[in-house]
Structure 1
């Protein structure tokens, strides 16, 4: 199969084609005539809680399949299922339920966003479930997942956090810093211990101040850290999005959705972590205090927003696919249009609307 168009590769735009053989990209080449469309790698969303009316946060495998299928139709060919702060029993049951989906390839892994988070910066996380990191708890969950656990977000100022970072890193689990009231130095200590991702940077964090820079400046400036950015115009002003992407560069910025079940659904009431969420004008907020509660974003919309904010198309695509793939250890498998990688690609029109999706070479019904 050959698809013609403006091919966005990690090094630039090739006016030509992508040739797919089986489930693999066979070649990328130039052509004299080019179809009037963009060809980009399948999006890689490393932080999402659900979509299409379905959630990952309850640990229901059938709902997880539906949520993954919803995002796949929007071009997300690699997706990590994010839980929210929960009792150990729910984390255990969700891990057991999702591990087969990871083995099957429906999910690229499981992400625990909490419960080891700051009470002060919990945002839409349920404060009743927040607690200090437990090495015993984490060890049991790592063993249960059998490699399915991909990432854990924690607040580095909590007692035992640095030891947890070291434990997780030793087992190949990515550690992210988020929902934190940490100081600049506490954040850098987490990076030194092995943290490599900043969870939705700016959101759920002590805000930066010129005399107390806190976690935002530490994460933006730390060379090993990939900074998640929610490009929906609500979590971040477009100017903040563009500024952060310029500071980090596209190799250290990852677009994420942080989507909840309401993505792709009408406004109304939804649930997140045992709390009522009200969605109005596509913005999700907790009923109890108005805190932003995830998003209704999809990755194709995030790409459009990033380009609209002035980020170059090649950079925005790296932020939507190449960089997040590397952040979770999947570079060399997905995230770019290069020979030998899995044939995940999205065809976009000039308005950057999805027109075709291939995952492992197979067309997806939109």
Structure 2
């Protein structure tokens, strides 16, 4: 095995991982072998030769893809400070998220544009995969942890201003389609190739269907910040679940949704239409305390984030390794179903399925190594570079 340098980190070249359980698109392979050359996976399948690292007792899954995350490690993407954004991305990377779309929060339009300019540079540097604008084009009635006085109707000109500020790196905009300009903005976003997401909305069933017909393809954290299901007024949840064109975001942290509600969503949409997200704010990877979320203050107690003023749930402290573990051990998803929702589906939605989201030859070597019994995270590799856990593998499982 040879090594090369990438910054200050040694990057393995021509490394073979043997003896692992591999979760592949076609199924699970026991005692499998995966070979990485440079930043790519070059071969995988059943073991035909010993590997450089023996991963017996380990499960290898593709790196996680988070469509919706506001921060972590005590840092926020809405700060407009590159160092904070780097810290947030690194925190989630160390928990297995190898592809991150950075989410903003409601603020003054010009301030969000400034944040977008900073985040765009990190997309161009390969740190982030894009920008998600959550707010200010959302409902006052369902604003959650967004400052009400800064909310705006989704005037297409204002929506376009944010998209343009991202310099081609806007991936998604969450908006309430019932507001003036909502449907027009959905159509415009679809024409621009930017995902239009329905969320923080008070729309009824009919208006939600109109939004989907106009081009909306994502439900922002389904069930949260929208009307519940009523037997004579099904609301947006039913409309978003029943349409095969819509990918639904779910937050599997044990706080935002009861496990039975996740089961309901999977039973209706199937794993091929669910993207598990964190919606994490700066406290992810940290302890309890006070944290900023855009212009608002959040208090975290026992890992639950709530606004200091009003007490609304304010994002999460979730990381996707925890979401994976909960999905398998609490919700009873198969390994393939969990991989679909944490990697394959969001990668496909972002147009990145050719490079990441599954363990296949030719794709980026974005890997998460888990303990096969507990599903706790052991190691993370991004584009052929070990991020965390390499010492545990080489010391305990060297061939």
TM-score range, shorter chain: over 0.9
| Contact 1:174 1:196 survives alignment (8 Å) | yes
8 Å CA contact 2:109–2:162 kept in 1: the answer is no
Per-residue Cα deviation, 1:212-233 (whole angstroms, up to 9, x for no partner)? 0101111111101110000001
Conservation of the 8 A alpha-carbon contact between 2:132 and 2:173: yes
Q: CA, structure 1 residues 143+275, in 2 after alignment: closer, same or farther (shift >3 Å)?
A: closer
Among 342, 354, 362, the alignment partner of 1:332 is: 354
Matching of residue 27 in structure 1 with residue 48 in structure 2: no
> Residues 196-248 of structure 1: CA distance to partner in whole angstroms, max 9, x if unpaired?
11000000011111110101111111101110000001000111112211211
SS of residue paired to 1:320 = helix
Residue 59 of structure 1 and its aligned partner are, at CA, apart by 1.7
Higher gyration radius (CA)? 2
Q: Give how far 1:140 is off.
A: 2.9
Can you give the 5+ residue segments of structure 2 that lack an aligned partner in the other structure? 1-14, 390-399
Q: Choose the corresponding residue for 2:381, options 350, 358, 363.
A: 358
Structure 2 contact 381–388 (Cα < 8 Å) conserved: no
Note the 1:225-304 alignment, pairs <5 A: 225-304=246-325
Matched, 1:11 2:16: no
Cα distance between partner residues in 2 of 1:239 and 1:142: 37
Q: How does the TM-score come out when normalised to structure 2?
A: 0.90
* Structure 1 SS opposite 2:340: helix
What is the TM-score with the length of structure 1 in the denominator?
A: 0.97
Q: Which runs of 5+ in 1 are unaligned?
A: none
Within 5 A, what are the aligned runs for 1:1-366? Answer: 1-4=15-18, 5-15=20-30, 16-31=32-47, 35-307=56-328, 308-350=330-372, 351-365=374-388
- Give the ranges of 4+ consecutive aligned residues of structure 1 lying more than 4 Å apart after TM superposition: none
Cα distance in 1 for partners of 2:231, 2:334 equals: 29
Residues paired across the two proteins, number: 366
Please say if residues 68 and 279 of structure 2, whose CA atoms lie closer than 8 Å, have aligned partners that are also in contact: yes
Kept in 1, the 8 Å contact 2:222–2:250? The answer is: yes
> Hey, what's the Cα distance between the residues in 2 that align with 1:251 and 1:215?
20
Task: Determine if contact 2:117/2:167 at 8 Å carries over to the other structure.
Answer: no
Shift of 1:79: 0.4
Preserved CA contact (<8 Å) 1:241 1:306: no
Structure 1 residue matching 2:298: 3-state secondary structure: strand
